[in-house]
């Protein structure tokens, strides 16, 4: 774990803090910042000091300023290393990001080509009605050929995710793809379809993208005249609406009706992104508009499928070397399934994990070599990465001490690292093999990945004979590997053939596994032969004939054999990352940090911060207050602490009175104190003026604090019915 | 007599000015637009339909069942150069109003100006569209796609229209003077221009719509130019427009909905194999006519059905025997019923030669529907699913029952006891209940939604936990770490999920200040979808639904 390492050498720990504050600032400091915008300067140090925030707060104490030479030198060293780590993080992350981008592009390209083909076909069919002369094409009355000429070709692109975030990029890429094929493309979003601007708003948006940015009035005739100029009419016009559900239905209907009046003169293709069911347009469009749509459906790959592809590319294929532990993987999985369900958030989680890994693990710089091509640079330590302190840190890693590797084997470190570098290969082959087997049951790689990362290898127990008996009796279970094993028994000969073929391909680079797979071939042949004898190779369990029983026997023998191979693979090669020495270099394990960075719990944070503001402000005046409220505290903080004494409604008058007592009585007391002790240094703040603040000032401060609480969503302002009471909205912290 | 003197007076005054402007603009266009691609300067000829004029017989045969309307229209428009009163053509959608009017003008070969109030969605666009056509102005890149005149107000429109009209009159006059007798194709005939305004009923929806409508109705009397005939096409009957404003009411021409025989004739036009198609129509048209008689709705479904009808045939040219007809009909029969339902759905034309998996058509919707009942075909996070169910429950159940349905712990056994009590009262208030159903989903404040969400999310998780315990004891400790966290996590980011549900139209919001928290929500989810979601979570939704 990281804490033990950070105790060992202080400079990286300061870097840790700076990284953390940087990360947390992005995530959850903002609501807090709203509250304290006008407060004292110590916060500014926090909000601006991105790199060394902790230190700037502590720096007034002279202890740190007088550092020994050695320490400062070490600090410089640490600074150098942390900068370097940041740089390496950037290279590693850019590599991961690029990989993900490529995966997504590949997964979409088939659909994109399908859409383009559809556009071309339909465009040709429109042109087959006959070419229009210019005067025909721009005149105001419709072309009277047939009723279907009013149809508007529409593609419903099902994104199959409630959240739109992932698909913004997809539609952007579709836009580029179609543009590169020569189509005229305009992209409208739900913002263009607001009820306020009406149909004029979206037409204006269209013309802005097609014709020119400044137009007096938005009018379809303009579009028609533009389309007839400069060879524009050689290509179709495509309009992409990426989030149909969010559009104002009446405006979209109007646009469709208008465009359909011009359908032949300007061949328009509508591409509508639909995030829920395919009948969503039916819910928002009017009947007349629906009737004008000639809809085809295109289905994007589901988020889970994309997720699997991304996982495979990032963790199982050689990519960056960075990986995550079992617990982190479980957390990421549950976050994906329960919370957000978008790939975007998954990638963000991954990025946070990666960043935190680099910030907390000094040895993470080694990842640079994993990231680059696999040439052995590790042995030649020319760049002075392995300084004394990092070496010490490396041998203090829990995985190293657990395996009883001592300093004496120091020269073995490069060897271990090489192993580490090589290690994922058989592991990922095994995971992919199981994934292939699981595909028949539509298992998700995400689940398999999470299960196989388990450092205690609990999945092995499914191979004990009792478990095999068990697994047939139970209908459903959580364990993915057990499901795979169960499914193996139901495979048909043809499925066996394809499975073995894919296993062969996967294990081609790794001879040990490949040999085992090859051993299965004779069995496969006998199964096939049995299947052919039966004449129905695809339905092994249909006929209760004698040949069938023979086939069944063969099949079950096959299944047993394959299960044995899987077991062999799991036992021999599936060393989960976490059981390997020095894995901390590659593997991010701190799930709590990730969770707090990701979920944040901003409301709870606001409440706890309000109650203990001095922990953040670090002012001297309120540090030793104990449980009493001091007038030097921030007004909002005082008010919120006072509000804790009330039930769900707070009488404004009482509240104000107690607020006033705290400000007035205390300040008068300090006035006396200041006269005797003359500790004027303490009172820099205006709140602490010697004389009691005027009534008007107290009222003003009260009002402001109440407003701040309301903005933070902690109280609700008085209603008409009960003008003297505010209501508490949030309870507990 | 009077009219002519008035007219000539106008011509004398305006002609010199207008012609000069005209020439200037045309010359500038040719200079600034050097590329030769179809640079087209519209002339008066473009005010006609532009194609060969058709004879009356062709016109009548083109529109089966519209004989009387066509003859009425021609009679009301009147002989050449004869002023006519405003005409209002009205009738249901897709009864041939626009086509008939336009084809009548094609037959008469008279100049006209057409503007659709759908395309011109504001008064300014409408006015400018009319003026552009009369002034023979075409938008292009060289003039920045601007209109010939900027015209916002009805009063400006009257003035500009007067100028433009007299300009056109003059050119028409000179034309008809030169080539009167020869009557070439496409050349305008007569000294009148007709103004056709389509979709007049849409103006009612406009801002200040009634004012514009009154202006249009009184345009004839305000303009005092008998050379302009006005024809309004409307989906609504004239009664809805009339008010006692003292203008001449337009003469109504009603286009009734087509009868089945007329539809038969309409679809039979332009068919290669009339016998086959007629046999097809005999079998198909009757059930469809009960659902709709709109030509546009029918034509899409019927054409796709005909394609299926012909599938078993090798030779499309043969005339079918009775036996063949019966066989084809039997094949088609199962397809008709789903298509009947489909008319109100997104229509879809099956694309030929499409055998890729991702391009399934919606025509096969009915068979898919059955599959879809089983599972949800799009991704939602677990907390969003619980929220959806919570919203559904909050909308369906009365708020007073919440306490009995969910206690603070969300226990299962407790609920059953309470439910029985509510069952008794349920019987008593059956009528009140039905009323509540008729009212549709109720609205609820955010707090109630969150409270129900918390209850059902905790119940759902605890039931999951039970399942796990029963099934896999050995995995308990591992699952406990993983799924405990899930439970806690479900509660965070809930507001974000609410907003994304709102975005997906599953929950609608009645607007108010979000800080006040007094917004009320309403679930728009069908019971089908809610059940589907509940099934994916293995959540016993029906137990929680009041009245079930």
Q: Where is pLDDT greater, at A171 or B300?
A: A171
The verdict on residue B370 lying in a domain is no
The verdict on residue A91 lying in a domain is no
Per cent of chain B over pLDDT 70 is 69
Same domain (yes/no): B243, B279: no
Q: Please give the backbone phi and psi of residue A721, each rounded to the nearest 5 degrees, phi first.
A: -70, -40
Same domain (yes/no): B165, B178: yes
Check A217 against B362: CB less than 8 A apart: no
The verdict on residue B424 lying in a domain is yes
The verdict on residue A720 lying in a domain is yes
The verdict on residue B456 lying in a domain is yes
* Selected residues 519-538 of chain B with any CB under 8 Å from a CB in chain A: 524, 529
In chain B, what residues touch A141 (CB-CB under 8 Å)? 98, 102, 114, 116, 196, 198
pLDDT reported for residue B426:
59
Number of domains in chain A: 3
Same domain (yes/no): A169, A262: yes
Residue reference for tokens 């010490």: A392
Same domain (yes/no): B281, B163: no
Same domain (yes/no): A283, A210: yes
pLDDT reported for residue B478:
35
Same domain (yes/no): A142, A280: yes
Per-residue model confidence as pLDDT tens digits over B95-130: 888 889 988 888 888 888 899 998 888 899 999 989
Same domain (yes/no): A567, A640: no
The residues, any chain, with a CB within 8 Å of residue A103's CB and separated by 6 or more, are: A306, A309, A310, A312, A313
pLDDT reported for residue A341:
75
Instruction: Round to whole Å and give the CA distance between B471 and B27.
Output: 88
Same domain (yes/no): A620, A555: no
pLDDT reported for residue A458:
67
Same domain (yes/no): B192, B271: no
pLDDT reported for residue A508:
76
pLDDT reported for residue A370:
64
A698 within 8 A of A660, measured Cβ to Cβ: yes
User: Measured between CA atoms, how close is B239 to chain A, in angstroms?
Assistant: 23
B405 within 8 A of B544, measured Cβ to Cβ: yes
In chain A, what residues touch B196 (CB-CB under 8 Å)? 141
Of B119, B146, B384, the CB nearest to A162: B384
Same domain (yes/no): A514, A632: no
Same domain (yes/no): B196, B267: no
Same domain (yes/no): A290, A434: no
Instruction: Round to whole Å and give the CA distance between B291 and B344.
Output: 10
The verdict on residue B35 lying in a domain is no
Number of domains in chain B: 3
pLDDT reported for residue A403:
66
Same domain (yes/no): A566, A607: no
User: Measured between CA atoms, how close is A707 to chain B, in angstroms?
Assistant: 11
Q: How high is the mean pLDDT of chain B?
A: 73
Give the domain-ending residue among A260, A275, A301.
Answer: A301
Same domain (yes/no): B116, B229: yes
Mutation for testing the A interface, residue in B107, B119, B511 having most A CBs under 10 Å: B119
User: 3-class DSSP state for residue B360?
Assistant: coil
Task: For chain A, state the CA radius of gyration.
Answer: 34
Same domain (yes/no): B285, B247: no
The verdict on residue B510 lying in a domain is yes
Per-residue tokens: B478: 């591992």
Check B98 against A118: CB less than 8 A apart: no
Q: Is B162 on the interface with A (CB under 8 A)?
A: no
Check whether B219 has a pLDDT greater than 70. Answer: yes
The verdict on residue A286 lying in a domain is yes
pLDDT reported for residue B407:
61
User: 3-class DSSP state for residue B231?
Assistant: strand
Same domain (yes/no): A288, A167: yes
Same domain (yes/no): A526, A636: no
Q: Please give the backbone phi and psi of residue A160, each rounded to the nearest 5 degrees, phi first.
A: 55, 35
Instruction: Round to whole Å and give the CA distance between B333 and B347.
Output: 19
pLDDT reported for residue A732:
58
Q: Which of A348-352, A397-401, B35-39, B320-324 has the highest mean pLDDT?
A: A348-352
B317 within 8 A of B272, measured Cβ to Cβ: yes
The verdict on residue A518 lying in a domain is yes
Nearest-CA neighbor of A265 among A164, A157, A104, A143? Answer: A143
The verdict on residue A311 lying in a domain is no
Same domain (yes/no): B229, B343: no
Closest CA in chain A for residue B113: A140
The residues, any chain, with a CB within 8 Å of residue A455's CB and separated by 6 or more, are: A325, A326, A576, A577, A578, A579
**DSSP structure class, residue A722:** -
Q: What is the mean pLDDT of residues B432-450?
A: 76
Nearest-CA neighbor of A509 among A271, A347, A318? Answer: A318
Per-residue model confidence as pLDDT tens digits over B51-81: 677 888 888 888 888 899 999 999 998 888 8
Range of the domain at A657: 602-728
A358 within 8 A of A83, measured Cβ to Cβ: no
Give the domain-ending residue among B206, B222, B255.
Answer: B255
Which stretch of DSSP H or E encloses residue B89? strand B87-91
In chain A, what residues touch B372 (CB-CB under 8 Å)? 277
Give the domain-ending residue among A285, A301, A317.
Answer: A301
A291 within 8 A of B347, measured Cβ to Cβ: yes
The verdict on residue A654 lying in a domain is yes
Range of the domain at B445: 382-471+480-544
Instruction: Round to whole Å and give the CA distance between B173 and A541.
Output: 90
The verdict on residue B367 lying in a domain is no
Instruction: Round to whole Å and give the CA distance between B220 and B217.
Output: 7
User: Measured between CA atoms, how close is A532 to chain B, in angstroms?
Assistant: 29
Same domain (yes/no): B309, B247: no
Q: Is A649 on the interface with B (CB under 8 A)?
A: no
The verdict on residue B356 lying in a domain is no
Q: What is the mean pLDDT of residues B388-406?
A: 83
Give the domain-ending residue among B311, B329, B351.
Answer: B351
Per-residue model confidence as pLDDT tens digits over B491-524: 667 878 888 888 888 888 875 555 555 678 888 8
Q: Where is pLDDT greater, at B446 or B406?
A: B446
The verdict on residue A199 lying in a domain is yes
Same domain (yes/no): A154, A240: yes
Same domain (yes/no): B48, B170: yes
Q: What is the DSSP string of B104-140?
A: HHHHHT--EEEEETTTS-SHHHHHHHHHHHHTT----
Q: Is A388 on the interface with B (CB under 8 A)?
A: no
**Which residues of chain A fall below pLDDT 70?**
1-78, 130-131, 144-149, 278, 369-392, 394-395, 400-424, 457-478, 528, 530-548, 600, 622-627, 665-692, 731-733
Same domain (yes/no): B250, B157: yes
Of B102, B141, B501, the CB nearest to A229: B141
Same domain (yes/no): B451, B330: no
pLDDT reported for residue B494:
80
pLDDT reported for residue A411:
58
Instruction: Round to whole Å and give the CA distance between A173 and A196.
Output: 29
The verdict on residue A441 lying in a domain is yes
Give the domain-ending residue among B226, B255, B284.
Answer: B255
Check B145 against A212: CB less than 8 A apart: yes
Q: Where is pLDDT greater, at B86 or A282?
A: B86
Check whether B541 has a pLDDT greater than 80. Answer: yes
Report the CATH number at residue A183.
3.40.50
B250 within 8 A of B197, measured Cβ to Cβ: no
The verdict on residue B125 lying in a domain is yes
């Amino acid at each position: 774990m990281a804490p033990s390492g950070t105790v060992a050498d202080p400079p990286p720990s300061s870097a840790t803090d700076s990284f953390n504050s940087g990360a947390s600032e992005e995530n959850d400091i903002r609501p807090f910042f709203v509250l304290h915008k006008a407060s004292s300067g110590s916060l500014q140090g926090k909000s601006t000091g991105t790199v060394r925030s902790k230190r700037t707060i502590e720096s007034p104490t002279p202890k740190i300023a007088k550092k020994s030479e050695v320490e400062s030198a070490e600090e410089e060293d640490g600074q150098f290393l942390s900068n370097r780590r940041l740089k390496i993080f950037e290279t590693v992350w850019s590599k991961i990001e690029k990989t993900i981008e490529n995966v997504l592009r590949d997964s979409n390209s088939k659909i994109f080509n399908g859409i383009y083909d559809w556009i071309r076909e339909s465009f040709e069919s429109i042109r087959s009605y006959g070419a229009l002369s210019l005067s025909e094409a721009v005149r105001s009355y419709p072309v009277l050929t047939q009723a279907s000429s009013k149809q508007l070709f529409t593609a419903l692109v099902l994104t199959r995710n409630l959240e739109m975030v992932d698909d913004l990029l997809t539609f952007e890429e579709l836009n580029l793809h179609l543009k590169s094929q020569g189509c005229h493309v305009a992209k409208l979003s739900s913002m263009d379809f607001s009820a306020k601007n009406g149909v004029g708003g979206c037409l204006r948006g269209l013309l802005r993208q097609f014709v020119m940015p400044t137009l007096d009035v938005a009018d379809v005739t303009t579009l028609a005249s533009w389309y007839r100029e400069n060879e524009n009419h050689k290509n179709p016009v495509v309009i992409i609406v990426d989030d149909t559900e969010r559009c104002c239905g009446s405006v979209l209907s109007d646009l469709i009706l208008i465009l359909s009046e011009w359908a032949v003169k300007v061949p328009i293709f509508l591409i509508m992104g639909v995030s829920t069911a395919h009948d969503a347009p039916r819910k928002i469009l009017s009947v007349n508009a629906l009737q004008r749509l000639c809809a085809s459906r295109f289905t994007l790959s589901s988020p889970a499928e994309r997720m699997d592809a991304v996982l495979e590319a990032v963790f199982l294929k050689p990519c960056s070397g960075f990986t995550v532990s079992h617990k982190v993987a479980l957390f990421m999985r549950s976050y994906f399934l329960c919370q957000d369900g978008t790939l975007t958030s998954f990638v963000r989680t991954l990025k946070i994990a990666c960043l935190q890994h680099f910030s907390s693990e000094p040895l993470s710089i080694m990842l640079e070599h994993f990231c680059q091509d696999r040439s052995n640079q590790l042995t030649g330590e020319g760049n002075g990465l392995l300084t004394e302190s990092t070496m010490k840190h490396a041998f203090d890693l829990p995985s190293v001490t657990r395996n009883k590797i001592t300093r004496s084997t120091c020269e073995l470190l490069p060897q271990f690292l090489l192993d580490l570098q090589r290690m994922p290969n058989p592991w990922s082959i095994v995971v992919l093999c199981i994934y292939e087997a699981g595909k028949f049951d539509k298992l998700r790689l995400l689940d398999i990945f999470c299960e196989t990362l388990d450092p205690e290898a609990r999945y092995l127990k499914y191979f004990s004979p009792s478990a095999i008996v068990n697994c047939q009796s139970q209908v459903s279970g959580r364990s993915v590997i057990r499901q795979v094993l169960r499914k193996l028994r139901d495979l048909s000969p043809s499925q066996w053939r394809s499975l073995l073929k894919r296993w062969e391909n996967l294990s081609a680079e790794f001879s040990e596994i490949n040999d085992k797979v090859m051993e299965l071939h004779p069995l496969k042949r006998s199964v096939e032969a049995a299947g052919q004898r039966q004449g129905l190779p695809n339905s092994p369990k249909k006929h209760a004939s004698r040949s069938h029983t023979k086939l069944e026997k063969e099949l079950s023998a096959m299944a047993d054999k394959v299960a044995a191979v899987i077991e062999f693979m799991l036992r021999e090669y599936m060393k989960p990352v976490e059981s390997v020495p020095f894995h901390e270099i590659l593997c991010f394990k701190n799930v709590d940090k990730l969770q707090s960075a990701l979920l944040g719990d901003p409301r709870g944070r606001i409440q706890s911060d309000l109650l203990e503001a001095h922990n953040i402000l670090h002012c001297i005046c309120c540090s030793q207050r104990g449980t009493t409220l001091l007038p030097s505290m921030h007004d909002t903080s005082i008010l919120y602490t006072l509000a804790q004494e009330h039930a769900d409604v707070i009488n404004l008058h009482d509240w104000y009175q107690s607020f006033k007592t705290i400000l007035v009585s205390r300040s008068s007391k300090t006035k006396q104190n200041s006269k005797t002790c003359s500790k004027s240094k303490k009172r820099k703040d205006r709140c602490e003026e010697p004389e009691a603040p005027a009534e008007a000032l107290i009222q003003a401060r009260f009002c402001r604090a109440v407003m701040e609480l309301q903005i933070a969503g902690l109280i609700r302002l008085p209603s008409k019915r009960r003008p003297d009471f505010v209501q508490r909205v949030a309870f507990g912290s | 007599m009077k009219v002519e003197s008035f007219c000539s007076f106008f011509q004398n005054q305006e002609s010199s000015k207008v012609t000069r402007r005209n020439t200037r603009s045309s010359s500038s266009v040719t200079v600034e637009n050097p590329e030769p691609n179809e640079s087209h300067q519209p002339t008066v000829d473009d005010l006609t339909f532009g194609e060969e004029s058709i004879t009356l017989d062709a016109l009548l045969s083109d529109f089966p069942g519209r004989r009387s309307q066509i003859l009425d229209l021609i009679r009301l428009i009147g002989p050449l150069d004869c002023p006519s009163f405003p005409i209002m053509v009205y009738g249901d959608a897709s009864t041939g109003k626009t086509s008939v009017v336009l084809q009548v003008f094609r037959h008469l070969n008279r100049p006209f100006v057409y503007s659709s109030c759908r395309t011109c969605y504001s008064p300014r666009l409408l006015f400018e569209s009319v003026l552009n056509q009369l002034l023979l102005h075409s938008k292009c890149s060289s003039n920045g796609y601007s209109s010939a005149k900027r015209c916002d107000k009805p009063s400006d429109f009257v003035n500009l229209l007067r100028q433009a009209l007299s300009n056109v009159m003059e050119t028409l006059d000179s034309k008809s003077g030169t080539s009167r007798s020869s009557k070439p194709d496409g050349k305008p005939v007569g000294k009148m221009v007709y103004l056709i305004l389509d979709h007049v009923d849409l103006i009612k929806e406009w801002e200040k719509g009634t004012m514009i409508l009154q202006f249009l109705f009184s345009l004839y009397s305000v303009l005092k130019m008998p050379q302009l005939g006005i024809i309004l096409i409307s989906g609504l009957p004239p009664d809805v427009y009339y008010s006692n404003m003292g203008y001449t009411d337009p003469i109504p021409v009603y286009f009734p909905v087509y009868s089945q025989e007329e539809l038969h004739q309409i679809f039979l036009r332009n068919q290669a194999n009339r016998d086959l198609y007629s046999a097809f129509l005999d079998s198909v048209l009757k059930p469809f006519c009960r659902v709709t008689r709109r030509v546009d709705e029918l034509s899409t479904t019927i054409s796709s059905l005909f394609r299926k009808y012909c599938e078993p045939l090798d030779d499309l040219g043969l005339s079918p025997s009775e036996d063949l007809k019966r066989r084809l009909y039997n094949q088609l029969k199962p397809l008709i019923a789903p298509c009947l339902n489909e008319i109100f759905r997104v229509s879809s034309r099956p694309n030929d030669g499409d055998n890729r998996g991702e391009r399934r058509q919606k025509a096969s919707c009915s068979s898919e529907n059955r599959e879809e009942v089983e599972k949800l075909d799009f991704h939602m996070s677990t907390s969003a699913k619980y929220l959806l169910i919570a919203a559904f429950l909050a909308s369906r159940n009365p708020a007073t029952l919440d306490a009995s349905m969910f206690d603070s712990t969300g226990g299962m056994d407790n609920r059953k006891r309470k439910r029985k009590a509510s069952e008794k009262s349920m019987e008593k208030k059956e009528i009140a209940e039905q009323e509540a159903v008729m009212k549709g989903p109720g609205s609820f404040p955010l707090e109630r939604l969150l409270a129900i969400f918390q209850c059902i999310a905790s119940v759902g998780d605890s039931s999951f936990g039970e399942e796990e315990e029963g099934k896999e004891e050995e995995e308990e400790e591992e699952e406990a770490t993983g799924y405990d966290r899930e439970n806690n996590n479900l509660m965070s980011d809930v507001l974000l999920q609410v907003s994304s549900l709102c975005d997906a139209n599953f929950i609608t919001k009645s607007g108010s200040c979000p800080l006040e928290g007094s917004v009320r929500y309403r679930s728009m989810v069908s019971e089908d979808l809610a059940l589907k979601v509940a099934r994916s979570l293995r959540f016993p939704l029906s137990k929680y639904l009041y009245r079930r």
